[in-house]
Structure 1
Amino acid sequence: MSTFTQITTSEELEAAIRESEERPVLLFKHSTRCPISAGAYAEAQRYLGGSPNEDASYVLIHVVEDRPVSLEAADRLGVEHASPQAILLKEGRAVWNTSHSRITSASLQEALS
């Protein structure tokens, strides 16, 4: 079963971006204080518990606790910050993103298929 790996440092963010050169990386930005984010996180977990793309990596940033890394991700990837937010990385860049209630198990399945 696939799971999220939490990243908390610039170095871990850089490693995830580099990893996307070899395989898709889904970056999930999550607020532990927001009920909308809790719902989106539950949808992401549902996706991971179903039939996720086993060739992809899944990373998680807590936007409140690790704000500097969250803001750096927005800056580095050229994707305006939102929370919750799902960003798909391929070849070192963001190729798809969505946020809030648009984060569903089905939308992740489609993006990662």
Structure 2
Amino acid sequence: MNWIALTEETQLQEIIQESSTAPVMIFKHSTRCSISSTSLSRMERNWKEEEMNGIKSYYLDLIQYSPISAKIASIFSVEHESPQVLLIKNGKSVWDASHYDIQYDALKKEATL
């Protein structure tokens, strides 16, 4: 899995632009949370590039870059949770999940609709 580190608020505008041609995933991860680590590990183990049709995957370290998480909540009109995955299409969050609801198959289904 090829993560793109989300470390600057300016990247959120890039994500919005990129999502007009292909879905974009944002994985918000807390390095201090065992549930977050489990969800991240499960996603990485199950990820298959050929099934995800070129989805760009952004990784946000919530501990180091918490202000970016607040900006994500504001821009995409989602409540902040941790861990959390958002699927962005055409500049909008079309699906999000948190904790153990973060499932590869559910993300894949939404991404290919």
The answer for the alignment partner of 1:98 in structure 2 is 97
The answer for the alignment partner of 1:56 in structure 2 is 55
Deviations 1:47-79 (A, max 9, x none): 324754132111111111101111101111000
Q: Is the 8 A contact 2:83 2:99 kept in 1?
A: yes
The answer for the alignment partner of 2:38 in structure 1 is 39
**Cα distance between partner residues in 2 of 1:4 and 1:48:** 11
The answer for the alignment partner of 1:85 in structure 2 is 84
- TM-score norm. by structure 2 comes to 0.90
- Report deviation, 1:13: 1.7
Identity fraction in percent: 31
Q: Is the 8 A contact 1:89 1:95 kept in 2?
A: yes
> Equivalent residue of 1:10, what SS?
coil
Deviations 1:8-58 (A, max 9, x none): 111112211211111100111110110000011012112324754132111
After TM superposition, which residue ranges in structure 1, 4 or more long, deviate above 6 angstroms? Answer: none
Give me the CA root mean square deviation. Answer: 1.5
> Equivalent residue of 2:52, what SS?
coil
Q: Is the 8 A contact 1:62 1:70 kept in 2?
A: no
Gaps of 5+ in 1: none
Q: Is the 8 A contact 2:5 2:59 kept in 1?
A: yes
- TM-score norm. by structure 1 comes to 0.90
Gaps of 5+ in 2: none
**Cα distance between partner residues in 2 of 1:104 and 1:10:** 26
Q: Is the 8 A contact 2:3 2:57 kept in 1?
A: yes
Q: Is the 8 A contact 1:30 1:63 kept in 2?
A: yes
